[in-house]
């Protein structure tokens, strides 16, 4: 099914508005975010009023109705500023909304889409202390409530983005003891974060990405009604999660692309202003080489983003290409920020300059929503499968 999205002219106006907002409002607020490890409440209110938490929610339910191409452009634009500003709304418009779109009942859509579009923050509970991509090792369980129509959840989720601020979580849990083919032992549940038995650990201290908070979610005999089961059917949770991760990986790829552009712009400015041997270091050919290599790689990532999102909007299966985009863009961003530190020289190692922060912030892009290594395995597996099938 083709996703038409927002009117193209309106979308361009929205992107222009966002670019101004990023430069005039968000970048000046970065120091405050870093100092307090949180986004200021006034900015959160502004982001809600701009509709950022409901970008991909259908217009009939109060959202902006953006298609995947438009959504990725918004993410790339927002990612020019500190990563926390993208992180706070990205789970809503990427993985949570994708799972609702692909797997929810009409009643679930009617309840949660307006709430998400209104600015309620969502989180996505898949990773655990002993399992991430390995769903067979998942320990969180959901068993039928013996006293009525509902479920009782127990377990711990780890590294959950937005857990400290979220009002709802999409929680993956085992509904069968034994691992089943196609991960049919895992189901997905929509869990209000204020439900009795749900607790959130302290926000973890991280290498970078200040203000983008992650924490454990602990579920102790959490009762949820029967209609909390996503789609109303067991055994579909992992399928919904994996489909939504395609959007999550596009979001991370777009974020890495936008942040690489920010870092390169910073290096350009520094290279022009910094002088050595009586002239700007931008005149030195080996500095120019690092700048040119970075520009080339960012352009390649931008082209990949345009291609994979267009395919998504045409309804194609993008699992392999979304993974490839995420791998390339995240690794590219790592190479770019490394060069940026090198362009800054000794100053790049000091916390008072932006290059040091860019370097730390970028490192997580190669890990979350699927590490580079896991995604390489996934890409190769599907390549071999398609080749054997003559596709």
Task: Indicate whether 3 belongs to any domain.
Answer: no
Residue 95 lies in a domain: yes
CATH number of the domain that 311 lies in? 1.20.140.10
The verdict on residue 354 lying in a domain is: yes
Q: Could you tell me the CA-to-CA distances from 316 to 40, 165, 337, 377 in Å, in that order?
A: 39, 34, 33, 21
CATH number at residue 37: 1.10.540.10
Angle, CA of 122, 128 and 134, to the nearest 5°: 110
What are the distances in angstroms from CA 67 to CA 12, 21, 74, 309?
A: 13, 22, 11, 9
Q: Which two tokens stand for residue 286?
A: 């080996």
Query: Quick one: three-class SS letters along 75-96?
Result: HHHHCCCCHHHHHHHHHHHHHH
Which residues are tagged catalytic? 369
Radius of gyration of the chain (CA): 21
Q: What is the pLDDT of residues 17-73, one digit of tens each?
A: 999 999 999 999 999 999 999 999 999 999 999 999 999 999 999 999 999 999 999
Based on the fold, state whether residues 115 and 127 are members of the same structural domain: no
Q: Which of 63, 94, 120 is the last residue of a domain?
A: 120
| Domain identity same for 166 and 90 | no
Phi, psi of 152 (to 5 degrees): -120, 120
**CA–CA gap between residue 367 and residue 22 (Å, rounded):** 26
Judged against a pLDDT cut of 80, whether residue 3 lies above it is answered with: no
Write out pLDDT tens, residues 133-149.
Answer: 676 788 999 999 988 88
The sign of the dihedral angle between the CA atoms of 240, 242, 243, 247 is positive
pLDDT in tens, 332-387: 999 999 999 999 999 999 999 999 999 999 999 999 888 999 999 999 999 999 99
44: containing domain: 8-120
- d(CA 61, CA 65) in angstroms, rounded, equals 9
Residue 88 · residue 39 · CB < 8 Å? yes
- Dihedral sign (CA 78, 313, 243, 305): negative
Task: Say whether both 243 and 382 belong to one domain.
Answer: yes
Domain co-membership, 192 together with 251: no
Token representation of residue 65: 């109705």
- Interacting residues of 137 by C-beta distance below 8 A, sequence separation 6+: 128, 130, 131
Q: Please indicate, yes or no, if residue 110 is contained in any of the structural domains.
A: yes
Q: What tens digit of pLDDT does each residue of 152-208 get?
A: 999 999 999 999 999 999 999 999 888 777 778 889 999 999 999 999 999 999 999
In a domain, 1, yes or no: no
Tell me how far apart the alpha carbons of residues 40 and 91 are, in angstroms, rounded to a whole number. Answer: 19
Q: How many domains does the chain have?
A: 3
Question: Are 224 and 191 contacting, i.e. CB atoms less than 8 angstroms apart?
Answer: yes
pLDDT of 281 strictly over 70: yes
Indicate whether 259 belongs to any domain: yes
323 in the same domain as 196: no
Does 261 share its domain with 138?
Answer: no
CB 337 within 8 A of CB 362: yes
> How far apart (Å, rounded) are the C-alpha atoms in residues 342 and 281?
12
Please give the torsion angle defined by the CA atoms of residues 64, 362, 31 and 247, in that order, rounded to the nearest 10 degrees: 10
Does residue 242 surpass a pLDDT of 90?
A: no
Task: Supply the pTM of this predicted model.
Answer: 0.92
d(Cα 200, Cα 222) in Å, to the nearest integer?
13
Q: Which of 202, 235, 268 is the last residue of a domain?
A: 235
Q: Region 86-95: what's the mean pLDDT?
A: 89
Where do the DSSP E strands lie in the chain? 122-125, 141-144, 150-161, 168-174, 186-192, 198-200, 214-225, 275-276, 279-280
């Amino acid at each position: 099914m083709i996703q038409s999205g927002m009117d193209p002219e309106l979308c361009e106006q929205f992107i222009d508005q966002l670019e101004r907002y990023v430069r005039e409002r968000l970048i000046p607020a970065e120091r405050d975010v870093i100092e307090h490890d949180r986004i200021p409440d006034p900015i959160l209110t502004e982001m809600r009023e701009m509709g950022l938490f409901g970008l991909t929610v259908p217009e009939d339910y109060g959202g902006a109705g953006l298609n995947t191409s438009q959504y990725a452009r918004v993410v790339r634009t927002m990612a020019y500023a500190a990563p926390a500003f993208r992180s706070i709304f990205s789970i809503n418009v990427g993985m949570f909304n994708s799972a609702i779109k692909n797997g929810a009942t009409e009643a679930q859509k009617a309840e949660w889409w307006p709430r998400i579009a209104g600015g309620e923050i969502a989180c996505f509970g898949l990773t655990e202390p002993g399992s991430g991509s390995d769903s067979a090792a998942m320990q969180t369980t959901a068993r039928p409530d013996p006293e009525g129509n509902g479920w009782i959840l127990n377990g711990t989720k780890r590294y959950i983005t937005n857990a400290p601020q979220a009002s709802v979580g999409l929680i993956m849990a085992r509904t069968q003891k034994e691992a089943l083919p196609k991960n049919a032992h895992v189901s997905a549940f929509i869990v209000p974060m204020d439900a009795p038995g749900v607790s959130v650990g302290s926000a973890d201290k991280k290498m970078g990405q200040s203000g983008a908070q992650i924490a454990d979610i602990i579920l102790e005999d959490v009762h949820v009604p029967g209609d909390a089961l996503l789609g109303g059917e067991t055994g579909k949770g992992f399928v919904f999660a994996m489909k939504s991760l395609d959007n999550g990986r596009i979001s991370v790829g777009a974020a890495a692309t936008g942040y690489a552009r920010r870092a390169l712009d910073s290096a350009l400015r520094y290279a022009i202003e910094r002088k050595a041997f009586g002239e700007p270091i931008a005149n030195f050919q080996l500095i120019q080489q690092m700048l040119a290599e970075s520009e080339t790689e960012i352009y390649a990532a931008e082209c990949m983003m345009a291609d994979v999102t267009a395919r998504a909007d045409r309804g194609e299966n993008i699992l392999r290409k979304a993974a490839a985009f995420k791998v390339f863009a995240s690794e590219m961003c790592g190479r770019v920020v490394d060069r940026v530190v090198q362009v800054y020289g000794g100053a790049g190692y000091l916390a008072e300059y932006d290059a040091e922060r860019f370097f730390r912030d970028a490192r997580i892009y190669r890990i979350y929503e699927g590490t580079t290594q896991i995604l390489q395995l996934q890409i190769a597996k599907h390549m071999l499968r398609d080749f054997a099938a003559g596709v």
